[in-house]
Amino acid sequence: MNRRVEIAQNLLAVQGKITRPDITLIAVTKTYPVSDVQILHELGVRNFGENRNEEGLEKAAQVEGRWHFQGEIQSRKLRDIAQWADVIHSLDNASHATKLNSVTGKVIDIFLQLSLDGDPARGGVSASELAVLGAHLQTLPNLNLVGVMCVLPLGIEARTGFTEVAKIHRDFQGEFPSAKSLSAGMSGDFEVAIDCGATHIRVGSQILGSRTYHP
């Protein structure tokens, strides 16, 4: 099958499962070639997600859009990430926030990463720590707090997990009204995430398939 036709069919299928008009669909293009990103752009997609700084730098330089960084943050790469990322979904560290604010020449939208299980390997802060980090962001003029992001722990039932995440997000928004957005849900569970209140979904394989590319 022609690659453009394949991607177009997959994209249409995903869009057909989005049940609310306020949902932002982020096409996760990690490990896929820039040619796939260009096809997505031709099909009207403007939000792209990357987990690796190197891929984000390369692709954002070639395809115009709103670029989302959603991978693990390394302090030494923050300056590079700030060059191409318009949105960061995985901030969970006050020192990273301070450094990012100092190295960026633009305002970056920020999701704070929530952890439900406290596993340091997966990143994120606990619900009790969100407010402290949110308050810190309010002192940093180049970082715009827009919401909360969460990747569910392995083994947790999707509806149970996203229901808990949505409650934590509502409580957080009560204290930080600008944090209206909830980034939750990927290829395997985005429909449940939408049902539970997600505003941003990050979908890769359901749009681009299992074909991978390693630069």
pLDDT at 198 exceeding the cut of 90: yes
Summarize the confidence of residues 160-169 as an average pLDDT. 98
Say if residues 187 and 11 touch (Cβ distance below 8 Å).
no
- What are the boundaries of each domain within the chain? 3-208
Structural domain 3-208, CATH architecture: Alpha-Beta Barrel (3.20)
Pairing of strands 108-114, 181-184: unpaired
Q: What is the pLDDT of residue 120?
A: 78
Summarize the confidence of residues 133-143 as an average pLDDT. 98
Q: Model's pTM, two decimal places?
A: 0.96
Confidence of residue 145 (pLDDT cuts 50, 70, 90): very high
Confidence of residue 215 (pLDDT cuts 50, 70, 90): very low
More confident residue, 120 or 26: 26
> Cα(130)–Cα(27) distance, rounded to whole angstroms?
27
Confidence of residue 119 (pLDDT cuts 50, 70, 90): confident
